[in-house]
């Protein structure tokens, strides 16, 4: 494994290239179709999906990319992940609940490990992972989150407001 910041940048760049990303990638038509599908989803809970600029921008640049990762990371085993908001189509209540807890709106972003965790993005562009063990903060933006996932760095567990007092 290549050590240091330069090695981390090379590893991230190689993963992005392997997934099909390139500078200037901007699939806005697909992102808008996803937004329309999410807004129009009338699931059983009646809770609407939130759609906002930070989510649409993340979908436009990275949507549809699949990262086929495995093996040791810096602190965690690396797992495959997919940037596709349709992975969260049936989760509007879960995302709305997380948004209420965080004081922001949250939209689906994709999934980790073939559906074992849901990726989400908030109005500020911060990225989260939700799995059976809890909610995790992956980064202040999608670039930081992708780096964390590609490099296998440990995310920060989201805590309740009581734990901060």
- Going from the first residue of the chain to its last (165 residues), give the mean pLDDT of each consecutive group of 10, the final group possibly shorter: 76 95 97 97 89 98 97 95 98 96 97 97 98 96 97 91 43
Count other C-beta atoms under 10 Å from residue 26's C-beta: 10
Strands 127-131 and 134-139: antiparallel
Q: Rounded to two decimals, what is the model's pTM?
A: 0.92
| pLDDT recorded at residue 163 | 47
Q: Which domains does the chain carry?
A: 4-159 (3.40.1580)
Please tell me the distance from the alpha carbon of residue 6 to that of residue 73, in angstroms, as a whole number: 16
């Amino acid at each position: 494994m290549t050590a240091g910041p330069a090695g981390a940048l090379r590893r991230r760049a190689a993963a992005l290239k392997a997934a099909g990303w390139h500078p200037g990638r901007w699939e806005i038509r697909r992102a808008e179709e996803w937004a329309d599908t999410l807004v129009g989803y009338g699931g059983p809970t009646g809770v609407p999906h939130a759609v906002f600029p930070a989510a649409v921008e993340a979908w436009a640049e990275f949507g549809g990319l699949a990262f086929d990762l495995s093996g040791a990371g810096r602190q965690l085993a690396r797992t495959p992940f997919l940037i596709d908001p349709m992975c969260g189509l049936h989760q509007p209540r879960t995302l709305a609940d997380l948004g209420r807890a965080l004081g922001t709106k949250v939209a689906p972003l994709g999934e980790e490990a073939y559906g074992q965790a849901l990726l989400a993005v908030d109005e500020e562009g911060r990225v989260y992972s939700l799995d059976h063990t809890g909610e995790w903060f992956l980064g202040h933006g999608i670039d930081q989150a992708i780096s964390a996932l590609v490099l296998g760095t440990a995310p920060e567990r989201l805590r309740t407001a009581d734990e901060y007092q």
